[in-house]
Structure 1
């Protein structure tokens, strides 16, 4: 059975992004349904997979990371409005028997992701 997981890496300091709020949505026909919210631990990861087994289904999903709030808590001086605030990663799950690891690599000025396992 597959699973969905994530983590946050703050590349401005080269450390895990601890304390980042993450919201997971299912997206169908343009309608978003909130499935779960989590906060990353000291290692920048959620304590358990976001979805696994029968709860992971093929389809479209979004992960929304509260990056701006995280940088505020770190004491980073940012302009108003922030350049990077809420980061939305929209992705698809084609085969729910596989693992989908969707991390966020972020700084106050840029972000990226990739599909890991």
Structure 2
């Protein structure tokens, strides 16, 4: 059974990104359809997979992480507009039976991702 999960790490403070709002969209050409909203827990993860089983289908998706709001709530002083605000990751799922883990490493000045396990 396939699933989609994520994990956010605050690389500026060396800790999980707790309380970060996340939106998941399914893409169909130029059309974005909101599938789910979630919030990261104290470990920087969502309590449940974002998608799993029959809900996970092959195609293109987008995760939007509200990192700027997270850093503002943590008291980080950054200029306006924020350099890193909403982090948008577009990715494809080719095998709906596989586990796709999309971690985000983020600071107020940079971010990176990879396909995890």
Q: Give the deviation of 1:29 after TM superposition.
A: 1.2
Runs of 4+ aligned structure 1 residues displaced above 4 Å come to none
Residue 54 of structure 2 aligns with which residue?
Answer: 54
Residue segments in structure 1 that go unaligned for 5+ positions in a row: none
Unaligned runs of 5+ in 2: none
Q: Normalized against structure 2, the TM-score is what?
A: 0.99
Number of residue pairs aligned between Structure 1 and Structure 2: 117
Considering fraction of residues, name the structure with more strand.
2
CA-CA distance at 1:7 after TM superposition: 0.9
Match of 2:19, SS state, is coil
Task: Give the 3-state SS of the residue equivalent to 1:6 in structure 2.
Answer: strand
Structure 1 partner of 2:33: 33
Note the C-alpha offset of 1:77. 0.1
Deviations 1:5-40 (CA, angstroms, capped at 9, x unpaired): 001000001100000000000000110000000000
Instruction: Say what the alpha-carbon RMSD is for the aligned residues.
Output: 0.4
TM-score with structure 1 setting the length: 0.99
